[in-house]
A and B are shown apart, each in its own frame.
Chain A
Amino acid sequence: MIYALFADMAVADNGSRQGKVRLTKWYSPYTQKERSKVIRELSGVILTRGPKLCNFVEWRGYKVVYKRYASLYFCMCIDQEDNELEILEIIHHYVEILDRYFGSVCELDLIFNFHKAYYILDEILIAGELQESSKKTVARLIAAQDSLVETAKEQASSISNIIAQATK
């Protein structure tokens, strides 16, 4: 089971390896204090790791599987007995879907559209388990959501237009 995902700890521009968190998702109850502590500790461990090392870190009886994409690190915290490579590919699966959705995803996409990243994540993982392995299906569902929101907005704006017209 995946306990938490802290995606996107970007390396700060000034080279100090202190991450900025772009997305977090917790599948196990932690308080706000615990959450920031975990993130602080883990970014200390992970961001200082050199290249060409393995993608696994042992931490407080858990394992952290992480993968770096350019300046972004995606990290997932799992049990000792879980299958590490499987998790590593879940990360990649997620990144591929983000890439497809934004069209060559970059860090800025995730910063300004962090809510989209959450929508997509919820279509891939629930309860810390993989829900859908088909990229196509996920893309289809997200598109459907987007169009629902669009329709609602159009309706709203047309109604407000009518009201605006009427109260003129």
Chain B
Amino acid sequence: MALSGMRGLSVFISDIRNCPNKEQERLRVDKELGNIRTRFKNEKGLSPYEKKKYVWKMLYIYMLGYDVDFGHMEAVSLISAPKYPEKQVGYIVTSCLLNENHDFLRLAINTVRNDIIGRNETFQCLALTMVGNIGGREFAESLAPDVQKLIISSSCRPLVRKKAALCLLRLYRKNPDVVNVDGWADRMAQLLDERDLGVLTSSMSLLVALVSNNHEAYWSCLPKCDVPQEYTYYGIPSPWLQVKTMRALQYFPTVEDPNTRRSLFEVLQRILMGTDVVKNVNKNNASHAVLFEALALVMHLDAEKEMMSQCIALLGKFIAVREPNIRYLGLENMTRMLMVTDVHDIIKRHQAQIITSLKDPDISIRRRALDLLYGMCDVSNAKDIVEELLQYLSTADFAMREELSLKAAILAEKFAPDLSWYVDVILQLIDKAGDFVSDDIWFRVVQFVTNNEDLQPYAAAKAREYLDKPAIHETMVKVSAYLLGEYSHLLARRPGCSPKEIFSIIHEKLPTVSMSTVAILLSTYAKILMHTQPADPELQNQIWAIFNKYESCIEVEIQQRAVEYFALSRKGAALMDILAEMPKFPERQSSLIKKAEDVEVDTAEQSAIKLRAQQQQTSTALVVADQSSANGTSPVNQLGLVKVPSMSSSVIYSSKWDFDQSRSSTSTSSPSPSPDLLGDLLGPLAIEGPPVAGESEQNVVSGLEGVAAVDAAAIVPVTVQTNAVEPIGNIAERFHALCLKDSGVLYEDPYVQIGIKAEWRGHHGRLVLFLGNKNTSPLFSVQALILPPSHLKMELSLVPETIPPRAQVQCPLEVMNLRPSRDVAVLDFSYKFNTNMVNVKLRLPAVLNKFLQPITVSAEEFFPQWRSLSGPPLKLQEVVRGVRPMPLLEMANLFNSCHLIVCPGLDPNPNNLVASTTFYSESTRAMLCLTRIETDPADRTQLRMTVASGDPTLTFELKEFIKEQLVSIPIAPRPPAPVPPTPSVAQPVPPAAPSNDPGAMLAGLL
């Protein structure tokens, strides 16, 4: 029956199956492809039957995983065949071989449309199916009205209408504007009265898609959401329709009307309590599919607490059953339940069972359990949960270890009952899974220890203990060396902790570690020397010998340290003043949480963690702030820290200054409560009482060291006072820098710092705004509005109205690029400090080049494209004058930093540049853009530029964009940062660049 007449195809399939190995198979496939290619070339001799056969063969080869890069045209051309058998093959093969972005599909639009509006029912079905499966934007725009007509047409049979409904659903997803809401809502309501189950099911799917975007318009459909009983699947009435219906209800706001609400809850109650586990797997699956959807609806409807606890009890039962699917879904839904308030305590009752699930044989289930444990953790159960996670770490799969250690670290930090426990946990983590502990985790420990004096002896002692172990992870060497360098003198009286012993046990590790660790070890040695007063000549000589040895190290970072430490340590007791211990770090939000959000997509764990992170952010920030004020960190110090790096003298000096200053101000100003101090400094009556003492000391210190930074820092508050709120740094410059990189500071003034971190993927972007309050009193009436240009769809998550003191809040901002344009989005940001209302309007760096993705093309790809895009409006040429003169190499760097990748060698003339990139937007999809710059070596201020792409607007916008870059980059006096003059000669590195010091690195990262 099925293959009668297709002998060639079956023979080919048998041949393939009989191939003993992959090489033979490839040979057979290549032979067949060659055959098909020649047959297609002289198409005249091809009968429709043969054409059909070859097209099927192509699909089969394609399915085997081979590249089929020809013959698409033949498949598409079958669509316009007059007879059903050929047409059918054409439609089906096309929809398998091609995707919606394929150019050949455009050729078929007209034929497809004729089939859809034609009278032949079978042709209609074929066309609707293909458009429903691979139709893109263009199809949406040209076919949507016809498809809509078919859905509601009374002369069409259900088999056409159900296909039309799903086809429209696809077109709507591609472009929501094609469905005109006004008239359509009523039609939709009528459709739900449909008695044919296929049409009803399809229409319900369509409704779900429509209401998920805009529920307002479809209120009239709400009462129609019920399920007929005629059809049953394993005894369950239309399970899919039930699920879809309940899904649709979840897009409407909570039902308020008490009667409707009551009857709805009755139904839900019946589903939840009346579903039993039965033997038949399919019946079970179907009934539980309905049950879990009902559960989701209950959560959405915000049911009474009683019902919620019933649900959790049910889930509690589920997570203990034998059926793995139900266990999995039980855990998953419990995690979703966490989003509903007030159920934490009830869920905690199942903690033991959830911990057992962490040892489930199925990794999918273990992942869910980990996610749930992470979500349900709070102060009361943190110790238990984290210890379980640590225990599990040694046996966990490699695939989960990184996520596991990150989560354990975050929980330990968030909910530590005391900080020594926190240090214990992290050190254990490093010990057990060092490979999976990223740098930010140990940076964070260092930060906590530095900021809490009580913790320092404990942490140092612990670090010392770990060093005794025979084989320790390099990260452990790093953290131990750092901690012991800073604080080992606090242990001096304990056995085995004399400077000499500490030095030798650390030095033992040196031969086994990498260069970055050697750098830390050198600092540690210098610190040990400093703390050994009076100097121990033997130790001194040993360490000096090491410094001497590394003075010729090939690694510039290490060489520099060795030279500097050697010189400094010869200063004898003065070393004490220069290499003092690290100052306290400014309190920032944990970078771990940010990281947890970043890895989310990869590790496939979603909503719960995000939600928790958002919920807890404020509280974390507060906890940290409390600790710091308890320890008497002075705000002066904070200001100093913020200011000094910009002066960028040697870090050692500045840290020294900070240290002294913090000490002096803690000693002199401790009686005055810290917020007042800041108020005084910033207020008009700055100079009175304690601050005077602090400032005068500062000046003494600065006099000693002769570092201008101190003066600058001291003066800053005064300038601030005169000009209300003056931004720090040049806003335009910051914006331009951010246009070329993805994270940095967008705006800063004495109260607020706004940082940005962005990720771009295709035409989507995700920016996170970090709003940081730099003060010890909260910022009120915080408002952030996004004013998007018409080509960007932007969605900013909720911005809290108040930012607690010294806290940082993160506000994710989703961006979608609809079409090419150079317009810029604006952030309208305002807040109130004391009585000052501050408002700034900032350009957001969601600019054209962010949607470019570099792509290198070879000459074979480039030239056909370049030729095929001939002349305006797809290819535009312009002579640009007034170009900022720059060497060609610099221009190439500029292009590269804008994601236009320069393809060397394509243009024979060495004075020309050719660059390519892909632009992503919703309307253009991924589109290749090509650029050629012809420069005149005699006159560098002018050049000829040619830009080509498949979209006229894009070509124009890109051309203008590049022009802006070439002509007017120097809005700031300096060239943008990422365009460094390529160092042809090794240049001397500026002394102690701040970013190289581990301390500064820490401060930057945390």
Contact = CB atoms under 8 A, between A and B. Distances in A.
Interface of A: 1, 20-27, 29-32, 36, 39, 49-50, 52-63, 80, 83-86, 88-90, 92-93, 111-116, 118-119, 122, 126-127, 129-134, 137, 141, 145-146, 148-149, 152-153, 156
A71 to B, nearest CB: 14
Interface stretch (B106-114, B287-295, B736-744): B287-295
Given A85-B329, A127-B166, A153-B85, A80 B132 contact: no
Contacts of B233: 89, 93, 133
B3 A112 contact: yes
Contacts of B205: 129-130
25 contacts: A1-B173, A21-B63, A24-B96, A32-B62, A49-B362, A53-B362, A53-B365, A54-B364, A55-B324, A80-B606, A83-B243, A83-B289, A86-B243, A88-B285, A89-B285, A113-B3, A114-B60, A114-B63, A126-B128, A126-B132, A131-B202, A133-B241, A141-B159, A152-B85, A153-B5
Interface centre among A49, A56, A146 (most CB of B within 10 A): A56
A113 B159 CA distance: 24
Interface in B235-275: 238-241, 243, 247
A60 B601 contact: yes
Interface of B: 1-3, 5, 10, 13, 17, 49, 56, 59-60, 62-65, 67-68, 83-85, 88-89, 92, 96, 99-101, 122, 128-129, 132-134, 136, 159, 162-163, 166-167, 169-170, 173, 197-198, 201-202, 205, 231, 233, 238-241, 243, 247, 282, 285-286, 288-289, 292-293, 324-325, 327-329, 361-362, 364-365, 367, 600-602, 604-607, 925
A156 B329 CA distance: 55
Nearest to B606: A80
Contact of A83 (B13, B136, B293): B293
Contacts of A52: 324, 361
A148 B63 contact: no
A83 B292 contact: yes
B92 A112 contact: no
B329 to A, nearest CB: 7
Given A26-B99, A115-B56, 5 more contacts: A50-B361, A61-B601, A86-B239, A92-B282, A112-B3
A143 to B, nearest CB: 11
Contacts of A134: 197-198, 231
Contact of A133 (B136, B159, B231): B231
A24 B13 CA distance: 17
Contacts of B1: 146
Given A86-B240, A133-B231, A152 B132 contact: no
B328 A54 contact: yes
Contact of B325 (A59, A84, A122): A84
Nearest to B367: A58
A127 B132 contact: yes
A27 B607 CA distance: 24
B96 A130 contact: no
Contacts of A119: 88, 92
Interface centre among B10, B362, B607 (most CB of A within 10 A): B362
Contact of B198 (A63, A113, A131): A131
B133 A54 contact: no
Interface centre among B3, B122, B173, B198 (most CB of A within 10 A): B198
A131 B199 CA distance: 8
Contacts of A85: 285-286, 288-289, 292, 325, 329
A118 B92 contact: yes
B197 A148 contact: no
A129 B89 CA distance: 22
A31 B601 contact: no
Contact of B65 (A21, A88, A92, A133): A21
Given A54-B364, A83-B243, A149-B84, A112 B286 contact: no
Nearest to A54: B324
Contacts of A84: 289, 325, 328-329
A17 B118 CA distance: 48
Contacts of B13: 111-112
B99 A30 contact: yes
Contact of B136 (A29, A115, A132, A137): A29
Contacts of A30: 99
A148 B170 CA distance: 28
Contacts of B607: 80
Closest 7 CB pairs of A and B: A85-B289, A58-B604, A54-B324, A127-B170, A126-B132, A126-B166, A29-B99
Given A83-B289, A84-B329, A133 B240 contact: yes
Nearest to B60: A114
Contact of B96 (A50, A56, A63, A118): A118
B99 to A, nearest CB: 4
Nearest to A60: B604
A25 to B, nearest CB: 7
B101 A29 contact: yes
A85 B275 CA distance: 14
Contacts of A83: 243, 247, 289, 292-293
A60 B65 CA distance: 22
Contact of B201 (A26, A54, A115, A132): A132
Given A88-B285, A127-B166, A122 B129 contact: yes
A155 to B, nearest CB: 9
Contact of A36 (B65, B89, B201, B361): B65
Nearest to A57: B364
B666 to A, nearest CB: 48
A60 B603 CA distance: 7
Nearest to B282: A92
A164 to B, nearest CB: 13
A26 B68 CA distance: 17
A151 to B, nearest CB: 9
A74 B60 CA distance: 18
A92 to B, nearest CB: 6
A123 to B, nearest CB: 8
Nearest to B246: A83
A39 B241 CA distance: 30
Nearest to A122: B129
Nearest to B55: A115
A5 B741 CA distance: 38
Contacts of B170: 126-127
A32 B286 contact: no
Contacts of B324: 52-55
Nearest to B100: A29
Nearest to B362: A53
Contact of A131 (B88, B163, B293): B163
Contact of A53 (B63, B96, B159, B364): B364
Contact of B133 (A53, A127, A132, A149): A127
Nearest to B69: A32
Contacts of B202: 126, 129-131
Given A54-B362, A85-B325, A131 B201 contact: yes
Nearest to B84: A148
Contacts of B84: 148-149, 152
B133 A21 contact: no
A23 B63 CA distance: 7
Contact of B286 (A20, A63, A89, A132): A89
A122 to B, nearest CB: 5
B357 to A, nearest CB: 11
Contacts of B605: 58
